[in-house]
Amino acid sequence: MAGIKALVGLSFSGAIGLTFLMLGCALEYYGVYWPMFVLIFYFICPIPHFIAKRVSDDSDAASSACRELAYFFTTGIVVSAFGFPIILARVEAIKWGACGLVLAGNAVIFLTILGFFLVFGRGDDFSWEQW
């Protein structure tokens, strides 16, 4: 039952983050859909983690080179997702208000992704693999 509650909570927070992103694009005052390209960063963010989990050995070492490289790439993807709307606002492709809404949506979505891996990434009684 705890897994269902966590899944519902993560779904709700993901919907809130996507709402911020949509508001940054679709409000009549902003009206430009360039910030929607940040969705690409949302989809590619967990890929390094999945690859590192699949490739790395199953030792209980505190750190491995493959896992650290995955953290490095994931950090680069997250920083790029936060930098993209700022660059768009600096070149005046979007307004600064839209940039703020997209940055708020980024924070919520990436915290949701982190929460998903913290809740369902452990190998205890429930995990994301059962879904």
Indicate the domain borders of the chain. 2-130
Model confidence at 86, in pLDDT bands (50, 70, 90)? very high
Q: Sign of dihedral through CA atoms 107, 110, 115, 116?
A: positive
Separation CA 39–CA 6 (nearest Å): 23
Instruction: List, for residues 9-52, the tens digit of each pLDDT value.
Output: 889 999 999 999 999 988 888 888 999 999 999 999 999 988 88
